[in-house]
Amino acid sequence: MSPQIERLVERRPAVSAEQLLDGFRPSERFGEVSFGTYRPDPSQPSQAQAVEELQRFARSISGPGSGSKGGGFFSRMFGGSNGGGDKGSKQGIYLDGGFGVGKTHLLASLWHASPGPKSFGTFVEYTNLVGALTFRKTVEALSGYALVCIDEFELDDPGDTVLMSRLMRELADAGVRLAATSNTLPGSLGEGRFAAQDFQREIQVLSDQFEVLRIDGEDYRHRGLPEAPAPLADDQLEAAADERFGDDQVVSADDFEDILEHLIRVHPSRYRAMVQGLDGIVWRGVRTVDEQALALRLVVMADRLYDRDLPIISSGVPFDQIFTPEMMAGGYQKKYSRAVSRLTALAREGQMPAQPLL
């Protein structure tokens, strides 16, 4: 028997504002994680310390508006109460570390341990939410939340800098607690991407909101694992999909060029809904993407595929060649490196034997 085959390019989901907001929760990959399921590396004491600090932060959140109000934004950031009395002056907490040290696991654990209403999404998902709802409606929707978690916080252009600065400021004014992960210390956001000195005020406002926790360690996705697997030949894809997936599973099979065109036509805020219900991905003819705007959309798609832990079977170039060397060394290098890491992990899963039915 063979899996049920669909085409991702035929999926054009219509997503309401309520559905968009409801989707701001940890993905299936992190749907049941907790501080107890995080395994700190004994050789990296900062990991265990981060767990303790996040547990303390979670206890300080009592419900909507648990952050302090009154006295002005900057007085709260530099000297006001945080509502729980544990840490002092900061409205948010910020996890800084390299790829694959478990920052998203810890952020999702914080989300699970905190009272609601609460929101969890990537930086790009929040900017896409503003694009879908408008800035004012986004602020109105999130201002009643107890906690807003922002995964993969990264500033890549001046517009995003100003946008997220305003959003964080207004949420902080409403007493919303903030938590974020990134690969860049908040005072260094934007470095190497644009004229950061022209936006120091916005960057400083963002930096001042967070207590920084540094998490050291290696990328767990590559500890003791092989390099990116070699892609298959085009005529091997069908047999590989039949072997990897069961007849009760749904797999999308598309030409990679068609996927790239489809990503342009569908708003990134809908990518999560677009991959809903799939069990695997087959891409024929993966090529190096050399157009920046398209490459950034592919980064978003890689995040959504990784969220759902969708194995990938592909032909064409290996995923460590999916972006040009210039892109991998440019201002968006951290985004592209994350996407390569995640696509490589999914490609490994695609070449693993199917799990036997119990």
CA distance 296 to 356: 36
Residue 102 backbone class (left: φ over 0; alpha: ψ -120 to 50; beta: rest): left
Q: What is the mean pLDDT of residues 285-314?
A: 94
Q: What is the mean pLDDT of residues 12-24?
A: 85
pLDDT at 212: 81
Q: Is 36 a residue whose pLDDT tops 80?
A: yes
List, for residues 228-267, the tens digit of each pLDDT value. Answer: 788 999 999 999 999 999 888 999 999 999 999 999 999 8
pLDDT at 201: 59
Tell which CATH classification among 3.40.1550.10, 3.40.50.300, 1.10.3720.10, 2.130.10.10 matches the domain 42-216: 3.40.50.300
Sheet harboring 92-97: ordered strands across? 118-122, 147-151, 177-182, 92-97, 210-215
**H or E element, residue 110:** helix 103-113
Q: What is the mean pLDDT of residues 67-86?
A: 38
**Strand residues in the chain grouped as ranges (E):** 4-6, 92-97, 118-122, 147-151, 177-182, 210-215, 250-255, 280-286, 312-316
- Confidence band for 149, pLDDT divided at 50, 70 and 90: very high
pLDDT at 79: 34
Q: Is 77 a residue whose pLDDT tops 70?
A: no
Round the average pLDDT of the chain to a whole number and report it: 81
pLDDT at 142: 95
DSSP label at 139?
H
Structure tokens at 24: 């701001």
pLDDT at 219: 57
More confident site: 272 or 111: 111
**pTM score of the predicted model:** 0.71
CA-to-CA separations, 122 to 15, 25, 354, in angstroms, rounded: 18, 10, 30
Q: In a 10 Å sphere around its CB, with 0-12 CB exposed, 13-18 middle and 19+ buried, how is residue 177 labelled?
A: buried
CA distance 203 to 314: 40
pLDDT at 88: 43
Cβ contacts of 22 within 8 Å, gap of 6 or more: none
The amino acid that residue 250 corresponds to is V
Q: Where in the chain is the domain with CATH 3.40.50.300?
A: 42-216
DSSP label at 29?
G
